[in-house]
Structure 1
Amino acid sequence: MDSALQQWQVVWQSALQALPTLLSYTPVTLGYALAAMLLGLPLGFLVALLRLTPVGLLRTLSGLYVSFIRGTPLLVQIFVIYYGLPSLGLTLNPLTGGVLALTLNAGAYLSETLRAAIQSVPRGQREAALSLGLNRSQTLWLIVMPQAARVALPSLGNTLISLVKDTSLISVITVVELMRSAQLVVARTFEPFGPYLMAALIYWAVCSVLEVVQRLMERRLARGTVAV
């Protein structure tokens, strides 16, 4: 009993000792996730439009991209980009390779979210906008996208939360973020449970805060919709 208590005290102490280091890299993790989200959104929007285009070749190519990304693990994609591209003459540093992999992965999932949101807007509204003299670009940005944004918001929030957790995978190519910092602490202290448990709690806390922000934004948009 006493030995078990002592072991838990060691774990707790190692977790508390690791906490300052882990907290210092939490904003870094958030930065990588936000960067991948901000870069993935325009990519996803472009792919969504290509998936809706009447041009068969573009629709097929964009569909293959989405299918490949969704059908392969993110870890494999990271390895292909970081370890595979140098054999083709393109060498990326770990940070660039990691963020690129996260961006390409997010872009594929975001494209499906945006495509579904765009298609959820009734076709009659597009036709009405065109009949009033708006061109296709104006119809897209002024009529379709404001309504599609409300539909897409929950999935966009979920994607950002997933990206926060997925940043842990780029630690395998030595990018120092929350997970990698925990690994470095473990390598120094030889006590794995405390630092890894603390890292898990920080991920949980960050994602919980993002979930609350997402719900607040959804409620605000819902009130705005009712008011209109």
Structure 2
Amino acid sequence: MDWSAWLTLIGGAGVTVSLSLAAILLSLPLGLLFGVFRWQKIAVLNGLLAVYVTLIRSTPFVTLALFVFFGLPEIGIDMNPIPAAILVLTLNLTAFSSEIWRAALDNFSSEQLEAAEAYGMSRIKTFWLIIFPQLWRANLGPLTSEITILIKGTPAVAVIGVVEITRAASRIGAQTYDPLPPFLMAMILYTLFVVIIVKSQRLLEKKMTKKYKGGK
């Protein structure tokens, strides 16, 4: 590959990282919020969120991307490819992460909640001081898995014109008539991103183990 091909691939990698980071930063707090709403079983809201989660979890990335980019303009919601891609990835990760948060909340120790209530702690204080510190540590592994799936799903947004790693590699292969090098590099880049995320997860787990078990 020549220098222009490398620049195309690096640009695609930058788009992939940017889209993934934006979706992660938006999805994790939204997923937590939705998970809490479902945990509290607020009647109408719980039903609407259940429909949203089921629908999004059942819809492939590509179908969702096409719906957002080509379907929503029919009702007056028109977006450029990058915002549409961020919305698609955010909708997907929010749905999956909300179920992770909700399941963890459903299985949270009722004895701790009863003790906090007996101590006179408010619900908000109980959540932030007792529930959440344990919740995010327990969910770190499952959330990391969903994040890696999100990154591997970013090629789906190429159908709406976003040039991420896979689309960039495809363009290079079409121009050079030699698809092996660019797609090999694309595989290496995806692997690198996933390895960085998994290593970060393990590093956090080690630090948390030392902190909460009194290690040095």
- Scaled by the length of structure 2, the TM-score of the pair is 0.92
Structure number with bigger Rg: 1
Output one character per residue of 1:170-225: Cα deviation in whole Å (capped at 9) or x when no partner: 11111122122212212322222221121111111221122111111112212222
2:207 partner amino acid: R
Identity of aligned residues (%): 36
1:154/1:218 contact within 8 Å kept: no
Query: Which of 104, 128, 139 is matched with 2:91 structurally?
Result: 104
- Stretches of structure 1 that go unaligned for 5 or more consecutive residues are 1-13
Runs of 4+ in 1 over 6 A off after TM superposition: none
Q: Find the aligned partners of 1:16 and 1:112 in 2 and give their Cα distance.
A: 44
Q: Find the aligned partners of 1:78 and 1:20 in 2 and give their Cα distance.
A: 26
Query: Which of 137, 140, 145 is matched with 2:127 structurally?
Result: 140
Q: Find the aligned partners of 1:158 and 1:16 in 2 and give their Cα distance.
A: 34
Q: Do residues 46 (structure 1) and 33 (structure 2) align?
A: yes
Deviates more, 1:143-152 or 1:25-34: 25-34
Question: Counterparts of 1:85-100 in structure 2 under 5 Å?
Answer: 85-100=72-87
Q: Do residues 180 (structure 1) and 167 (structure 2) align?
A: yes
Counterpart for residue 31 of structure 1: 18
Report the CA distance shift for 1:15/1:200 in structure 2 as closer, same or farther (over 3 A). Answer: farther
DSSP-derived class of the 1:85 partner: helix
Offset of residue 16 of structure 1:
8.7
Counterpart for residue 69 of structure 1: 56
Q: Find the aligned partners of 1:226 and 1:120 in 2 and give their Cα distance.
A: 22
Offset of residue 20 of structure 1:
4.4
Q: Find the aligned partners of 1:140 and 1:104 in 2 and give their Cα distance.
A: 25
Query: Which of 163, 178, 190 is matched with 2:150 structurally?
Result: 163
